[in-house]
Amino acid sequence: MGDIDPSFIQSTEHRPNLSTFIQVDEIPIIDLSESKQENLISKIGKACEEWGFFQVINHGVPSEVSSKVEIEAKKFFEQSLEEKKKVKRDEANAMGYHDAEHTKNIRDWKEVFDYLVENTTQVPSSHEPHDLELRTLSNQWPQYPHHFRETMQEYAREVEKLAYKLLELFSLSLGLTGDKYHDCFKNQLSMVRLNHYPPCPSPDLALGVGRHKDSSALTVLAQDDIGGLQVKRKSVGDWIPVKPTPGAFIINVGDIVQVWSNDKYESVEHRVVVNTEKERFSIPFFFFPGHHVMVKPADELVNEQNPAKYKPYNVGKFYANRNRSDFNKREVENIQIHHFKILD
């Protein structure tokens, strides 16, 4: 097992005074500056198996970078709807601004700005398996706030470093090599989403985000001190609120890691409840491989006693199918990883 990169560990004077692993009907809090890598890997694995969610502290993302993103996001969403719609997403380009009126789920009480970690990337033009044509996705950047683009790109670079470190720890916790999946993220489809949840006058009729699972490999979420995220506890099925921890990121297993792990780790349902009095901001980073990657259980985890539980699927075609359903109302369920499940 390789050693943790020293540049990844913050100095002790900036470490929150928290236990490295807290679990009292709350998702675990894991200190990434843990000196013994074996302990850290064990805690990551346990959190993935029991919760599918955990928080990380001493993660290496500078607090000043996170603070700048929050300020710039607030400035952007404070603009008039007319200004925000100048960078509105559409069916041709899924990056940019959108709000509840542009989604099929009318219960979602929020507005959003999406941008790619790589400023341009390619995805399949359709979900059809024999269509080899690609189309280019590009970020749309608003003219105001003036430092919006550079701030968002700096944030993406910093959180990307954390995502790679977590990917390494996930792999090691499964008994795989730390760099097992690094090459999958060349020409990645990873994206950052700025979520703004205004105060909601009718909380009984809306959710910030309805119950769902993330189709990414993993998600790195920054949330403010208002809270609202709830995680479905695997063991009992209750919705557990995630208490905001200053300076922490919330991490969750995505569908791709569930498939790679052959169901050892599960992508868990979560949702966001609205607040009647205060606005809320959150910033998820969705870590996606490149469009060319075929997702299937790791060969090292498959044997006669534990056969593969999923058929391979292509990341780009999966993305194209999901993107199509965002803009065209369909009578069938949106594509999910269980559609690739191998039945006994």
Q: What angle do CA 195, 201, 204 make, to 5 degrees?
A: 90
Judge whether 229 and 221 are in contact, CB under 8 Å: yes
Q: Decide if 9 is inside a domain.
A: no
Angle, helix 148-173 to helix 63-77, in steps of 10 degrees: 130
Helix (H) or strand (E) holding 241: strand 239-241
- Among the listed residues 153, 181, 178, the one whose alpha carbon sits nearest the alpha carbon of residue 8: 178
User: What value does the mean pLDDT take over residues 265-294?
Assistant: 91
Judge whether 295 and 312 are in contact, CB under 8 Å: yes
Dihedral sign, CA of 18, 19, 20, 23?
Answer: negative
Is the model's pLDDT at 125 over the cut of 90? Answer: no
Residue located via tokens 């006669």: 304
What gap in Å lies between CA 141 and CA 314, rounded to an integer?
29
Q: For residue 170, how many other CB atoms are within 10 A of its CB? A: 25
Residue located via tokens 């993660």: 59
Phi, psi of 182 (to 5 degrees): -60, -40
Confidence of residue 105 (pLDDT cuts 50, 70, 90): very low
User: What value does the mean pLDDT take over residues 293-317?
Assistant: 96
Structural domain range at position 209:
20-340
Is the model's pLDDT at 53 over the cut of 80? Answer: yes
Beta pairing, strands 29-31 & 53-57: parallel
Give the pTM. Answer: 0.88
Instruction: Give the CATH number, domain containing residue 109.
Output: 2.60.120.330
Residue located via tokens 């002790």: 12
Q: Decide if 11 is inside a domain.
A: no
CA atoms within 13 A on the CB side of 47: 28
- What is the average pLDDT score of the chain? 86
Quick one: DSSP state of residue 33? T
What gap in Å lies between CA 31 and CA 57, rounded to an integer?
5
Residue 200 confidence (pLDDT): 79
Is the model's pLDDT at 293 over the cut of 90? Answer: yes
What gap in Å lies between CA 27 and CA 54, rounded to an integer?
5
Could you read off the pLDDT of 225-254 as tens digits, one per residue?
A: 888 899 998 777 788 999 989 999 999 999
Residue 234 confidence (pLDDT): 74
Judge whether 145 and 72 are in contact, CB under 8 Å: yes
Angle, helix 148-173 to helix 37-50, in steps of 10 degrees: 90
Q: Decide if 3 is inside a domain.
A: no
Could you read off the pLDDT of 128-150 as tens digits, one per residue?
A: 878 888 888 999 999 999 999 99
Domains of the chain: total: 1
What gap in Å lies between CA 344 and CA 276, rounded to an integer?
47
Q: Decide if 12 is inside a domain.
A: no
Could you read off the pLDDT of 161-205 as tens digits, one per residue?
A: 999 999 999 999 999 999 999 999 999 999 999 999 888 777 666
CA atoms within 13 A on the CB side of 190: 25
Residue 327 confidence (pLDDT): 52
Q: What angle do CA 264, 268, 273 make, to 5 degrees?
A: 165
Q: Decide if 2 is inside a domain.
A: no
Confidence of residue 215 (pLDDT cuts 50, 70, 90): very high
User: What value does the mean pLDDT take over residues 101-127?
Assistant: 78
